[in-house]
Chain A
């Protein structure tokens, strides 16, 4: 028997799992459209490598990440690329993001596959490359690119590889059913990962409320070194940090990763994906999704292609639209609500709950925190949720951070038990977001200061140089020589500028591309309309006029120069001069108007 430890806190919410385990996993089939978000995991979004109208085959790579952390996206079936556009994606914000829409042609025609029958003959790096190219990112949580995770920092050795089959959240049974039905694939995938990492210990952890899954896994692991741990049912035992504590008694250091203490944790589904990639050459193009909740008639698990709209799956499970009150993607503890059923299933979507109002009732309004400490009793991270809340609410982020806000795993146990029904987790998310924004702003401010100071210095230097030159010029005997030198110097500075420019050309180009789309939409700022009834500000108007006149002069000067040199921007400059003419006339008119208005106004009013 594997030795088990306990973790602090934890809760026992109603499980509601049996509803969706009655039926075996069903294949969801191919919907009319598949919507494939370019970003389905943390890290960089992928860039499309197909264009609208292209025909792609099943398993063909359609988007890839070239630099930064990320994995490619593959076509889940054969068909035609219909659009690349911003569409609703599964995200708590309910916002749109870039997606490739694929219209299946129904043929489900595979691209050429390259299964590896004997992965042991390859280099480890090659296998990791395969996993990356297979588009595999974690399927149990945040969706961390699996190949990166499987490459622990050089100085770390992974001793314990954990396969996370805890599935502690209520309702979700995707991993449970996977274990029941695809135990062999899980073991095969685990073996591949174990070969890559060479741990001393491989553990599959399953909560003891899934006896069938435990049995199935026991059968599949028979005769191997793999340990099977039936862990006590307590939410959130499936949280990576808690699971590691349960199985090893060790704690992942704050801010660190499990590999720091020689542990790695992978999801059951991830193992299946690895197995299918290696042995069948099949990239990650489908996953098991639990469709459940009292608003569906036939809850169960579906093998759904990535990109399948949620609506399609709900229909298959017999959705009764009038009953739905809340639609949750993920579990009831950590999932987020959806605003539309048009969003697709992505690599991390494990469950959709179509809940009735009675099932997940709207919590009563928030009351003041009475500091009862229930939340602290259940917090698996041993935080002080009430204090975090207090400071988050009061926007005292520094203090919240000091109390380890960033160690909160947002498991929701605290909100679950709070007698004042405070949406604690939302406060933490808000606070974390604000802190991140502040940090970014601080960085930006620091950089701005540096650049400003650098510029001031440069100006100063130039000023000094100018001064220097002026003196020299006055002193120097040979006027011509001095002139030449000055020219040479000028050329030099220009050369510098050009250099800098070319170095940043790429940046600029990027900025341009990104901006273009936005600029089109953005309306030029309308000049603040002067309210007629207000007293006209003569001074300001006069200043405006003077400015306009001086600008016009400059422009005319430039235009003449340009004409003289027959430069190619004459046309533009002419436009500019015309514009400035306009500006001057407008300013003059405004000023005249104002003067008139003032004159007609009685004195008393203007002195008030």
Chain B
């Protein structure tokens, strides 16, 4: 009986040592750094750099997602971004986490120039350098570059920055899908 046990243990031990060695070898020999997934995730985030997700910027959030973090923390991206992420990672989309804010219409910052005192605080705050101006001069927002992150609003000592919702005009207007009419889908009223 005991010989049987000893043989069994020895065989398994031999196998394990060989395989363990093999894996140890591979772990060292084939070590890789970096994660290409982060880039892919980052490219799906809206790059508002607003930090609402709880990370200092979109890329750190992308890294967190790549490491298995929740995908529903980015309010500017909203449902569309969540869906895209879910698609990429092949997981179920979840509703936006309200703790981080709600999805809003697109906005841009506008500086009321006659009140601006040129303190440059907003320039320091803007993550995408969308504000122009020099010390003690009137500042203005380059509308096309502003991501609407509203990071510049709070630092302004004279509260001269407004976030304005971008209204659709005849050139940005697009068709809406037909109203669902008689056939309401079963998806409505989901706990989404």
Contact = CB atoms under 8 A, between A and B. Distances in A.
Quick check: do A and B touch in the complex, using CB within 8 A? yes
B173 A551 contact: no
Contacts of B57: 452
B66 interface: no
Interface in B128-182: 128-130, 132-134, 136, 140-145, 147, 154, 157-159, 162-165, 169-170, 173-178, 180-182
| Contact size range, B | 35 or more
Nearest to B123: A497
Interface stretch (B2-10, B13-21, B26-34, B111-119): B111-119
A575 B116 CA distance: 11
B80 to A, nearest CB: 8
A497 B47 contact: no
A406 to B, nearest CB: 14
A12 interface: no
Given A448-B145, A515-B110, A525-B162, A430 B132 contact: no
A603 B182 CA distance: 53
B169 A522 contact: no
Contacts of B45: 445
A567 B157 contact: no
Interface stretch (A139-147, A350-358, A436-444): A436-444
B174 to A, nearest CB: 3
A366 B182 contact: yes
A576 B158 contact: yes
A249 interface: no
A365 B179 CA distance: 10
Interface string A486-506: 000000001001101100100
B72 interface: no
B22 interface: no
Nearest to A565: B136
Interface string A357-370: 00000000111100
Contacts of B162: 519, 522, 524-525
B73 to A, nearest CB: 17
A579 B145 contact: no
Interface string A19-51: 000000000000000000000000000000000
A260 B60 CA distance: 47
A156 interface: no
B164 A518 contact: yes
Contacts of B142: 504, 507-508, 511
B182 to A, nearest CB: 4
B175 A433 contact: yes
A558 interface: yes
A423 B178 contact: yes
Nearest to B112: A519
A498 B182 contact: no
A95 B147 contact: no
Contact of B46 (A365, A434, A445, A451): A445
A507 to B, nearest CB: 6
B22 to A, nearest CB: 41
B183 interface: yes
Nearest to A447: B145
Contacts of A445: 43, 45-47
B158 A579 contact: yes
B148 to A, nearest CB: 10
B175 A426 contact: yes
Q: Select the residue from B154, B163, B170 with max chain A CB neighbours within 10 A.
A: B170
Given A429-B175, A524-B162, A95 B143 contact: no
Contacts of B115: 572, 575
Interface in A542-578: 547, 551, 554-555, 558, 567, 569, 572-573, 575-576
A171 to B, nearest CB: 23
B65 interface: no
5 contacts: A427-B178, A430-B174, A515-B110, A576-B157, A580-B157
Given A437-B174, A524-B162, 5 more contacts: A365-B182, A392-B177, A427-B178, A497-B134, A501-B134
Shortest 3 CB-CB contacts between residues of A and residues of B = A433-B174, A429-B175, A448-B47
